[in-house]
């Protein structure tokens, strides 16, 4: 799938999310709309960060964008978010770029003053593009193309604006390669804007 198709799919998701309060008869139940941008970082088999140091993770970060809606349910807030993130998987034999589009259901609760904890789950569409450079390519040890993965975002929200967290994967193939002893992880850091709709 071409990069323009990915952007169109993301924009369509954002428009659906933003239009949801107007389309629903239960408009009063949705009290917040949010969107934001930031960075996605990747920890996995091919993250290129041999020393596993934080500056290298941040230095290899890619684009992150999200949009969503939320509503209060008792002491918690339940939300639906569409998130677009990218990761780069590289080794001596391949260089891969992966776009991850996720549709998440999340729950959050204010815990310590300005800090809110959140956690959720949702399917992710992973669009992989590997460029072999003398080693195994798509269809071999590494797999390109599109696939689905169940992911679990968790983290903290500070002052209802800054969101820092990770996206755990239920598979070790988020980067199109299964290896090592742990599942792939995406780190997330973003700044968003929340506004009330009623």
Domains delineated in the chain:
3-196 (2.40.160.20)
Residue 102 contacts residue 124 (beta carbons within 8 Å): yes
Q: What percent of the chain has pLDDT over 90?
A: 33
Model-level pTM?
0.75
Q: What confidence score (pLDDT) does residue 80 get?
A: 95
More confident residue, 157 or 135: 157
The band of 147, judged by pLDDT with boundaries at 50, 70 and 90, is: confident
Using a 10 angstrom Cβ sphere, with 0-12 exposed, 13-18 middle and 19 or more buried, the burial of residue 141 is middle
């Amino acid at each position: 799938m071409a990069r323009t198709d990915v952007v169109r799919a993301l924009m369509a998701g954002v428009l659906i999310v933003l239009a949801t309060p107007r389309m629903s008869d239960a408009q009063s139940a949705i009290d917040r709309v949010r969107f934001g941008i930031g960075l996605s970082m990747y920890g996995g088999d091919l993250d290129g960060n041999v020393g596993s140091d934080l500056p290298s993770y941040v230095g290899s970060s890619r684009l992150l964008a999200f949009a969503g809606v939320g509503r209060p349910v008792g002491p918690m807030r339940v939300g639906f978010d569409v998130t677009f993130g990218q990761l780069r998987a590289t080794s001596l034999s391949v260089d891969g770029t992966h776009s991850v589009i996720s549709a998440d259901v999340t729950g959050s609760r204010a815990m310590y003053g300005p800090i809110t904890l959140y956690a959720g789950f949702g399917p992710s569409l992973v669009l992989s593009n590997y460029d072999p450079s003398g080693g195994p390519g798509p269809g071999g040890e590494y797999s390109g193309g599109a696939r689905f993965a169940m992911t679990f975002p968790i983290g903290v929200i500070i002052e209802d604006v800054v969101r820092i967290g990770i996206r755990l994967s239920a598979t070790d193939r988020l980067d199109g390669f299964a290896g090592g002893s742990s599942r792939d992880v995406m780190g997330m850091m973003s700044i968003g804007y929340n506004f009330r709709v009623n």
